Amino acid sequence: MSRFDGRSVLVTGAGSGIGWEMAAAFLAEGATVYAADIAPAGCPDGTNAVPLDVSDEAAFGSIVQRILSDTGRLDVLCNNAGVGSTADPLTCTVEEWDRVFAVNARGAFLGIRQALPPMLAQGSGAIVNTASVAGLVGLRDRTAYCASKGAVIALTRQVAIQYAGTGVRCNCICPGTVDSPWVGRLLDQAPDPSQARQALIDRQPMGRLGQPREVALAALYLACDDAAFITGTELVIDGGLLAG
């Protein structure tokens, strides 16, 4: 028997990278997976691909209602959708700040807000938010990104304490540098993308970048029954970067 047989899972940002691997992994473990993305055509085969702008509360609510109509329950929410920013405090515009927070922080809040009622009603549920090591330490040229991911970590802790003992758990994962399409797009903006990639590899104690599936499997662990005594924590998956 697979770990998520009979369970319904919603993954946001499932069109590529870490979110794609999350959706595929939950599907392989027997879940009914709703894979949401701004461009859902890229979501894994076998999932229920749905379009979603995570900053839109009504759209988020419609998807949750569809899941409840289809399956009668919502067991796991992975708030994974995110956007990046490569600006310092002087070059980060108010518009860019608001855009990053709308997806990274507001999106996580709206997902939690929509998922909590059915989870509390059924007395069980797991929320896994994708934060970042950038929410734990300061990184150059990541003003809005660091701040938004720090907000996700703080939100995770608050929700975990608010609902401890109800059967609903809330945790977050904090990836380091992962070899994903998202990181690839950032590297493409560098004057020398290959040199920039090598610089990222060189700063890794393990001598390589993380893989999206490695991060996805960490999310699966936090969502499964084996992690029943874990709530309010941030699981760092960074190849030893923060330990150095």
Q: Is the pLDDT of residue 244 over 90?
A: no
Q: How far apart are CA 20 and CA 14, in angstroms?
A: 4
Q: Does residue 1 sit within a domain?
A: no
- Residue 114 three-state SS: helix
pLDDT at residue number 146: 98
| Residue 192 is assigned to a structural domain of this protein | no
Tell me, yes or no, whether 45 lies in a domain: yes
**Residue 244 placed within a domain:** no
Q: What is the pLDDT of residues 65-77, one digit of tens each?
A: 999 999 999 999 9
- Total domain count, the chain: 1
Range of the domain at 152: 8-178+211-237
Question: Tell me: the pLDDT tens digits for 106-153?
Answer: 999 999 999 999 999 999 999 999 999 999 999 999 999 999 999 999
- Whole-angstrom Cα distance, residue 177 to residue 236? 11
Tell me whether residue 198 is in a domain: no
Q: Give which of 146, 77, 74, 85 is closest to 108, Cα–Cα.
A: 77
Structure tokens at 50: 């749905």
**Residue written as token pair 């939100």:** 155
Give a yes or no: residue 174 inside a domain: yes
CATH of the domain at 91: 3.40.50.720
- pLDDT at residue number 188: 85
pLDDT of residue 97 exceeding 80, the answer is yes
Q: Is residue 186 part of a domain?
A: no
Q: Is residue 101 part of a domain?
A: yes
Q: Which residue numbers are catalytic?
A: 145
Q: What angle do CA 87, 90, 93 make, to 5 degrees?
A: 65
pLDDT in tens, 175-198: 999 998 878 887 888 889 899 899
Using CA atoms, how far residue 208 sits from 34, 145, 182, 200, in Å, is 31, 23, 17, 8
pTM (2 decimals)? 0.96
What mean pLDDT is reported for the chain? 96
